[in-house]
Amino acid sequence: MEMLRMKKLLLALTASTIAAVMLVAPAVHAATSDPDDLVNTEAMFTIAPGDGAEDIELQFGSDASDHILMYNFANGRFEFGNDLYINGELEVQNDINQDGNTFTLDADNTGAGANVDIVAGQGSDSDGTLRYNATTNKWEISNDGGSYYSVSTSNDTANLDGTDSNIFTLDQDDTGGDVTLEFGNTLAESLKWDSANSRFVLSDDLFLDGGLTLNGDLDFDQNQAVNMVLHQGTSFPATPVEGQTFYRTDSDTMYIYDGSQWVEMADAPGALSIFMAPQYANATYRKDGSNNIGRLSYDFDATNVENYYRWKTRKAAMQDYDIKVRFQVPKDFSGWDATTPIEFKYRTNTTNSADNVVDFSMQDTADAAVAMTNNTGLVSSTADQWVTSTNMTITGSPTFTAGDWFTVTIKMSATQNHPTDVGSLVLNYNR
């Protein structure tokens, strides 16, 4: 009986020993347990301390393929076998290194069309923000808390293909001074707003393939307008405007439109002159019906270098003859010179108007007599000496229409042996 009791005691001891060994011996496979039964009262819970060379896994559930939190010793990092969802904030002390090709914000679209921001926090300064505007469907940027403005979404940011905005603003922060749009680092040509002179400056020539409309002055800044042709051709423009200029290539003449007609432009501004020397152009010779016996001839005075007409007679009584000259009022005519409208050369054989005399008169473009002063009874102050009359004046309000014709009459009177000569005639006018 005693022997049987000892056998039972040895069997019980052996069973308890085996059980104790099984509890403390390491398992060949990962241990599993109910999470409710896992209790750790220590400050640190160590999983498979090992030698630091093998990956350590914490498995959730029986499906080991994607329910694992693993520490990857080779890469020195924790890895999740599936997605990670964080219901609060995520704070990262160092860089974020993403192996994937896509970094998505608001992936679940919980904002339902709300803006999505990437913010660069600046502490006491205003933040910088890169925002995707859900209303305009465009990226926007705000620097230092300023206004948002669109940025290019071109794949190649070195080539700005365009912007949907109607305004592309340089110097948006209004720092002032010059503002420059530069073309090429090596080329370095530019369009610059010159703040000091309030004007745009191009660093090189400007070529226009179309028209140019100016709402202000054209200022060459004391430089030349080289090879500039305003308007030219063989026929006048069909619909000119007042002040328009035109160069006729068929006549090599410059014209200006005065509002009603094209007026030929003179070679110089200000006072201009019409000069004639005998024989006068557009002249005819006419007797007035009585006391017209004599001879009208023309000659050249080599001593005084003067072409002249001569009227002489064999009659003792005064005989006369008229020279009628037709003049066209210049198309650029605005009025006669106020000081010396007429310069007229004449010469008489004596200083006595009873022997020889010259009278000068005019009819305007309305064929009316023109009131004048110092134009009749002209004789040489010294016998046989040329005199230039410069004190004739035109008075009243005669009609001289540009482009129309007026008449000058020179009456030469002489007696026997006392000839009368007339030379060059100059009419001075303003345009």
Q: Has residue 5 got a pLDDT over 70?
A: no
| pLDDT, averaged across the chain | 82
Return the DSSP state at 105. Answer: S
Q: Could you tell me what percent of the chain has a pLDDT over 90?
A: 40
- In the prediction, which pLDDT does 41 show? 63
CATH H-level superfamily of 271-430:
Galactose-binding domain-like (2.60.120.260)
Q: In the chain, what are the helix, strand and coil shares in percent, each to the nearest 5? A: 5, 35, 60
- In the predicted model, what is the mean pLDDT of residues 347-368? 96
pTM, full prediction: 0.44
d(CA 338, CA 425): 17
- In the predicted model, what is the mean pLDDT of residues 416-428? 96
- In the predicted model, what is the mean pLDDT of residues 56-72? 78
d(CA 141, CA 145): 10
With cut-offs at 50, 70 and 90, classify the pLDDT of residue 17: very low
Q: Has residue 114 got a pLDDT over 90?
A: no
- In the prediction, which pLDDT does 34 show? 52
Q: Has residue 248 got a pLDDT over 50?
A: yes
Q: Has residue 305 got a pLDDT over 90?
A: yes
- Tell me how many degrees the CA angle 91-92-97 measures, rounded to the nearest 5: 140
- In the prediction, which pLDDT does 64 show? 63
- In the prediction, which pLDDT does 393 show? 94
With cut-offs at 50, 70 and 90, classify the pLDDT of residue 155: very low
Tell which wins on pLDDT, 112 or 157: 112
**Residue whose token pair is 């110092």:** 374
- In the prediction, which pLDDT does 25 show? 42
Q: Where are the domains of the chain?
A: 45-87, 116-150, 176-204, 232-264, 271-430
- In the prediction, which pLDDT does 266 show? 60
- In the prediction, which pLDDT does 144 show? 83
Contacts of 297 by beta carbon, 8 Å cutoff, 6+ apart: 309, 310
Q: Has residue 293 got a pLDDT over 70?
A: yes
Contacts of 29 by beta carbon, 8 Å cutoff, 6+ apart: none
Rg of the chain's alpha carbons, rounded to an integer? 56
- In the predicted model, what is the mean pLDDT of residues 51-59? 76
Q: Which residues of 146-182 are buried (b: 16+ CB within 10 A; e: fewer)?
A: eebbeeeeeeeeeeeeeeeeeeeeeeeeeeeeeeeee
